[in-house]
């Protein structure tokens, strides 16, 4: 799951010169995982 999101982010990175979208995807996934673990 993580690899799929990071791969999707890497592909989108080529379209986003500043590379912000992939980082946001990774952070969003990370915080969702933390929230799930803390429930």
Length of the chain as a residue count:
39
Q: What is the mean pLDDT of the chain?
A: 68
CA distances 32 to 2, 15, 22, 29, Å, are: 12, 25, 15, 5
Question: How much is the pTM?
Answer: 0.35
Work out the percent of the chain whose per-residue pLDDT is above 90.
Answer: 0
Q: Residue 11 is part of which domain span?
A: 2-38
Q: In sequence order, which residues have a C-beta less than 8 Å from that of residue 21 and are 6 or more positions away? A: 9, 12, 13
Identify the residue with better confidence: 39 or 2.
39
Number of domains, the chain: 1
Identify the residue with better confidence: 38 or 19.
38
Cβ atoms of 34 and 7 closer than 8 Å: no
- Radius of gyration of the chain, Cα coordinates, nearest whole angstrom: 11
């Amino acid at each position: 799951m993580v690899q799929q999101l990071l791969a999707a982010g890497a592909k989108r990175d080529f379209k986003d010169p500043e590379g912000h979208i992939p980082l946001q995807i990774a952070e969003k996934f990370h915080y969702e995982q933390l929230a799930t673990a803390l429930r």
